[in-house]
Structure 1
Amino acid sequence: MNDTLQTQSIRDCVRNRRTIRKFKQDPVPKEMVIELLEDAVYAPNHRLTEPWRFIYIGSESGKKKHADNLKAAFKELKPNMKEEQIQKFREHILSVPAFLFVMMKEDENERIRKDDFAAVSCLIQNFQLLAWEKGIGMVWKSGEVLYSQTLHQLMGLHSDERVAALLQIGYPAEIPNGEKRTPAAQLLTEIL
């Protein structure tokens, strides 16, 4: 358990959670991830479709395979990517303690699909806050590579799924300062 963070209220977790990009090398056990997910799945989910599925990567062999999968995807998307860039990316992958892919089932109905993406996003935020309470940080990754058909095939995604997020997970080596937020009162319109 990380001693960097102390038990916090929900409000404190919401306000103090940070995106973590630098991790200690301490492993994040699969059992801990499962424990956090068991609570995170209580996210609001219209029609209780539970449109999520997860892939956990925490072992050295899993991280090497993940790096190979991403390299193949980058070759598809960026064929001119230099070998030095690929090697630097590989080193980064191997330095992250754990990864969690969050897959989302894509319903044929657009409205349901949008509702489901909102539910998956709520689940991810629940997961982040629950992890933060335990002293675990993460960065929520998205981007072009997560839409790669090569990556989808290598990860075993079903034809009706997409990657909603790739979470890099670990105990914070460094916690950045928070960014100032626009006060909600400035963004509120009241209809009378």
Structure 2
Amino acid sequence: MDKEYLNQLIRERRSVFPAQYNDQPVSKEFIKRLLENANWAPTHRLTEPWRFKVVRGEAKDRLGVFLSDTYTDITPEESFSPFKHKKIKNNCSLASAIIVICMQRDQKERVPEWEEIASTAMAVQNMWLTCAANSIGCYWSSPALIQYMGEFFDLEEGEKCLGFLYVGNYDKEDDISSKRTNIDEKVVWMD
């Protein structure tokens, strides 16, 4: 592998939001490749805690209705935002696919839970880099609504939802630039 390509890929990986997606579908074959690459994330004691639910087609609309209805049910009237309600539903319909990110806790609890969450996050990073390498947009959202996903999906005992990876094609001329502060501000060297 070209090392410079890898450096560039990591630095150019960005969140591409559902509102930026076009109507070109992302193929099922590509989604399978994403999931296979996710499966190669580091995992302490080989617990492989990542679990995914792929939501496509009409199921996206059902998820959007569930999420927007749940938002309505749990939000006090004085805090309710019609804009947010609409955005929740629109994010589901605008994405080509939604990969629900879940973590299955090791039933023997051989490793701390944070390590399993970290492994799952690394699996998502593998998917994110795969999307970036293929000019496919994606965005990891972790709204408060994820705590209600057991009402929509049949989650296993010890399984929890960590968010949604929205996936979609986008027009490449869109500006998705980003910036970071200097790494020197975040590192302490001790020799």
TM-score normalised according to structure 1 size: 0.84
SS of residue in 1 equivalent to 2:112: helix
Structure 2: distance between partners of 1:120 and 1:16: 22
How far apart are 1:52 and its partner, in Å? 1.2
SS of residue in 1 equivalent to 2:140: strand
1:66 and 2:63 aligned: yes
SS of residue in 2 equivalent to 1:9: helix
Q: Residues 84 and 117 of structure 1: is their aligned pair in 2 closer, same or farther, counting only changes over 3 Å?
A: closer
Q: Residues 92 and 124 of structure 1: is their aligned pair in 2 closer, same or farther, counting only changes over 3 Å?
A: closer
What letter is aligned with 1:19?
S
CA shift digits 1:23-58 (9 cap, x unpaired): 111111222111122122211111110011111112
Q: Residues 159 and 73 of structure 1: is their aligned pair in 2 closer, same or farther, counting only changes over 3 Å?
A: farther
Structure 2: distance between partners of 1:142 and 1:28: 22
Q: Percent identity?
A: 24
CA shift digits 1:47-79 (9 cap, x unpaired): 1100111111121x1111111221232134215
CA shift digits 1:74-97 (9 cap, x unpaired): 134215346675345323421222
- Aligned length in residues: 181
What letter is aligned with 1:86?
H
The residue aligned with 1:54 is: 52
What letter is aligned with 1:42?
W
The residue aligned with 2:189 is: 190
**Unmatched segments (≥5 aa) in structure 2:** none
CA RMSD of aligned residues (A): 2.2
How far apart are 1:158 and its partner, in Å? 2.1
The residue aligned with 1:26 is: 24
**Unmatched segments (≥5 aa) in structure 1:** 1-7
Structure 1: distance between partners of 2:110 and 2:70: 27
The residue aligned with 2:170 is: 172
Structure 2: distance between partners of 1:11 and 1:162: 33
Structure 2: distance between partners of 1:171 and 1:85: 23
